[in-house]
Amino acid sequence: MEAGEGGSVAEKLESCGPMKEFEIIWLTKHVLKALDFLHSKNVIHHDIKPSNIVLMSTKAVVVDFGLSVQMTEETYIPRDIRGTE
């Protein structure tokens, strides 16, 4: 896997302050595309946050699948609280 040239969104916010509108739109498109792909494979990430989105030169990548779950054909009912602060 390629390294995140731009660091995480959390690192960018910490070093540069609030993002501009066009950056937010660009980022949102990439994250939604990633979530659409994951959901098409029946995967729930459970921990989307700025530190789990890595900026590349041409895309943003969702990382850290430690809390993710693969849904089965049964109805998915979370049995515990997931995510991090």
pTM as predicted: 0.75
Residue 61 lies in a domain: yes
Residue 44 lies in a domain: yes
In Å, how far are 13, 43, 70, 73 from 24, measured between CA atoms? 11, 24, 29, 34
Catalytic residue among 36, 47, 64, 80: 47
Residue linked to tokens 């540069």: 16
Residue 2 lies in a domain: no
pLDDT tens-digit profile of 1-46?
455 577 999 999 999 999 999 999 999 999 999 999 999 988 888 8
Q: Domain containing 64: what range?
A: 9-70
Residue 77 lies in a domain: no
Whole-number pLDDT of residue 1: 41
Number of domains in the chain: 1
Residue 21 lies in a domain: yes
Residue 50 lies in a domain: yes
Contact 64/52 with Cβ under 8 angstroms? yes
Specify whether 64 is catalytic. no
Residue 80 lies in a domain: no
CATH code for the domain in which residue 66 is found: 1.10.510.10
